[in-house]
Structure 1
Amino acid sequence: MMRGLTSFFESHPMHTTLITVTELSHLLERGERVRIFDCSGDLMNPPLGLEMFLKSHLPGAHYADVQGDLCGSVADGINAGRHPLPPRERVAEWMGQHGVDNHTQVVVYDQQQANYCARLWWLLKWCGHEAVAVLDGGLAAWQAAGHAVSSGPAEAVPACTLALRDARVDWLTTQQVAASLGKGPVIVDARARPRYLGETEPLDPVAGHIPGARNRPFQLNLQADGLFKPAAQLREEFLALLAGQDPAQVIHQCGSGISAIPNLLAMEVAGLGRAPRRPARTQSRGVRRGRCGGNPQPRGRDRSGASSRAADAGLAVRRRHGGGVCR
């Protein structure tokens, strides 16, 4: 981080993983430079996200559409799949249009168990912006604490510039992930158990999972009240899942690069995310390190029998630098 930014955040401690309702409330009361983004959505019913935002959101929040604002297109040439990455330059431009510069603490949330907002969390890390955190418990926790909410469109804010910095995360292609199979990395599949087992597949053309992948649905990171589990509990659960494997070698994967990221975030919260790792996604399971992605395989067939369409769809990402302060 450049000296000017270091100096700024020495007097304004940044939140880089989770932020509590109390912490956010204090930042807002002190008039700190904070921008809030509501990433609520529904991949099966895209208009629903904006409807939810217009009905109720945190005061001052802006809406980020997971498919319209946080995804690119195959034409961008970065990667394929249902939810391709947008170019970093486009992300930075969009954030600047919504009042985010390099001195802004960004807070993201959604109403879907931190599934979609983690995408924006990762994209900002990819742009080199560390000061971004997920609101623990989201809108429900904010309301439960007795805080007011707003409705209707977002308020306009002055545009500014978010300058790109060195990426704090990285991504791998499906081909790179495939080449790593059996050579050390552990793939963690964030999809629901029935999709992992190939018992059902509502979205992708191929059912099943990447050979050797271990299943941890992203919802397991949360308590019944919607808050993330304590760091010590998350650490214990992930270490049990890895069974002695190096956390730095984890590849997080899902169906299209969305829901693998909450597992990456949870490992950061647990103190297991300091070393590089790669998430994966399956575009038919996507694979990514530090993000999400990968390609699933047909039930009863090994990777060599997977369709070329599935083989071209995934990507993996990794954490390039250590995370900052938890919470």
Structure 2
Amino acid sequence: MSVLVLYAGSAEQWGPYRPALTRAFEAEGLDVELVTEVEDPATVDYIVHSPSGPIRDFTPYTGAKAVLSLWAGVEEIVGNATLTQPLVRMVDAGLTEGMVEWVTGHVLRHHLGMDDHILNQDGTWRPVAPPLARQRRVALLGLGALGSAVGQALAALNFQVTGWSRSAHEVPGLQCLSGDEGLEATLKGADFVILLLPLTPQTIDVMNARTMALPTRGAVILNPGRGPLIDDAALLKALEDGQIGHATLDVFRTEPLPPEHPFWAHPKVTVTPHIASETRPVTAALAIAANIRRSEDGEPMMHVVDRARGY
């Protein structure tokens, strides 16, 4: 019997997603009818969704077994009162690989002092070697799939990585802490702070005036997680004071970042346009198809969102 899957992502992404999803469903042995609109919403078995797509009201989709998000973050949909179906967040290899590459690249950039050599080709010989990675402390906030992979990649390069999460986690090769005391211990004396927490009421402004005073003076903050994890005003002050040496930011409270925002012109801020971990249709389609196959086989779906926790 055919499974009816409604693609409710952005119209611009339908072109690449259609063949990617079709191939992924075939590889999982699924007989799927993939559509972008239906006459009777109650006949839909699964919804492939992004907040940029057309669906705001899930009430008519009474037969849907799950809503599968194309985005790793679900804060824009998790509070939708009409969404009574199970919500599955996007976790796929492409997202993880992209995040590891972005974070590792920017950590190494600041660790090695590459900006000084790239931007100062003025004929001055500067034979100053950086410390070894084993002498650098990294505070990693967030130990989900992305955070764990990032932490293990940096630990493999010999950085001293301490990971923190609100609830207790264990990640092979990493020191893992949790709770309020664990957050302070994780940040204290860190040379790098990497933010990969989900956005919840408890994580908003996790980096504020108090917590930004804990890392070593001149520490670097990298935020590829969620914009509201950082108190922007407190960050600007910490940059001016020299407590924070540089901030490399990929996510912001308002996106695109307004042209007049002070981050753009600040000499100690690097802005990247939310590209650290882009959902790639080929790998995202594989994750979606695998989860639908699990559901059709009577197995529990992976990465189902806990509504109470918000992720």
TM-score by shorter chain over 0.5: no
Larger radius of gyration: 2
